[in-house]
Amino acid sequence: MAASLFGPTARSSSKNLLEFRAGKMNLKGTTVTADKRKGQVYIHQSEDSLMHFCWKDRTSGKVEDDLIIFPDDIEYKRVKQCTTGRVYILKFKSSSRKFFFWMQEPKTDKDEEYCTKVNSLLNNPPTPGSTSSGGGGLERTCAFPGESQLQGLLGNMDQQQLLQLL
């Protein structure tokens, strides 16, 4: 039982603050080319309150990129020079690092909303345990108590009950 409460668990989409389908792009010199794999970008806040921008291969389920983002350190925007696709750049302000992604969502109507949300979440992270308002299925749903709630639950247990958890 302790492993299920405190051990590593698989990421579930309900813990992600934002997710959308997008492929990676490869930068060679000044040219970017699309990686043809089906992908997913998602953002989550880890238990240590750090924000993570992740990319995973939707076919294999393997997470290939897990970037820790510090507040006000990135800019995510559409690459207007690309007229043949919906290409976005994740550019770091503190370094020359940049990553390119191409939208794989079938509809374009939420592209701008996703872009705004990426910038908002990563540059102004939510306070841990707070709930955000909004809609469109983009917000996190709370499936497990936050750290303060967990401490409250454990604080109300006596020594014998705590030992039973182990």
Distance of alpha carbon 45 from alpha carbon 62, whole angstroms: 19
* Bigger pLDDT: 73 vs 3: 73
User: Greatest CA span in the chain, whole angstroms?
Assistant: 65
Q: Pick from 7, 37, 28: which is nearest to 102 by CA?
A: 37
Residue 117: closest CA among 22, 11, 9? 22
Per-residue pLDDT reduced to its tens digit, 30-82: 889 999 999 999 999 999 999 999 999 999 999 999 999 999 999 999 999 98
pTM strictly above 0.75: no
- Please report the pLDDT score of residue 98 as a whole number: 95
Which domains does the chain show, CATH number per domain?
18-123 (2.30.29.70)
> Do 73 and 53 touch, CB atoms closer than 8 A?
no
Please list the alpha-helical segments (H only) found in 95-146.
111-123
- Amino acid identity for residue 5 in this structure: L
pLDDT for 130-142, tens place per residue? Answer: 644 333 444 333 4
69 three-class SS: strand
